[in-house]
Amino acid sequence: MATVPARPLSVTLTSTDVPDHDAWLAALRPAIEDALAAGEDATRRLSERVLSRAEARRKIQEAETRIETLFATLGSAATGAPRG
């Protein structure tokens, strides 16, 4: 699993950064929600968990892959590299 950067990225996205801005955001939201839900479940008391640790980890890793793929579509906007 990737580590969290020491300093959050500061990127402003516009509709010109992504060919279909609304579709990109629509695809990002469920990936984030899936990761958060699995993480929330994994931190519940053992008796209140729905997912096994392995299943929670699988869901988080799957969401991570989806999110990384979406950010890769942004190219330099996601990495903070200067645009020229």
Q: Is residue 42 part of a domain?
A: yes
Q: Which distant-in-sequence residues (6+ apart) come within 8 Å of 21 by Cβ? A: 13, 14, 15
Buried b or exposed e, range 23-32, using 16+ CB within 10 angstroms = ebeeeeeebe
Is residue 80 assigned to a domain? Answer: no
Domain extent at residue 63: 21-74
Task: Please tell me the pTM assigned to this model.
Answer: 0.67
* Tally of domains within the chain: 1
User: At residue 41, does pLDDT exceed 90?
Assistant: yes
With 90 as the cut, is the pLDDT of residue 30 above it?
yes
Q: State the average pLDDT over residues 30-41.
A: 96
The per-residue pLDDT for range 63-76, each reduced to its tens digit, is 999 999 988 887 75
For the four alpha carbons of 83, 25, 61 and 39, in that order, the dihedral sign comes to: positive
Question: Is 6 among the domain residues?
Answer: no
Domain annotation covers residue 25: yes
Distance CA 17, CA 9 (A): 16
Residue 7 has what pLDDT? 58
Torsion of CA 27, 28, 32, 34, to 10 degrees: 10
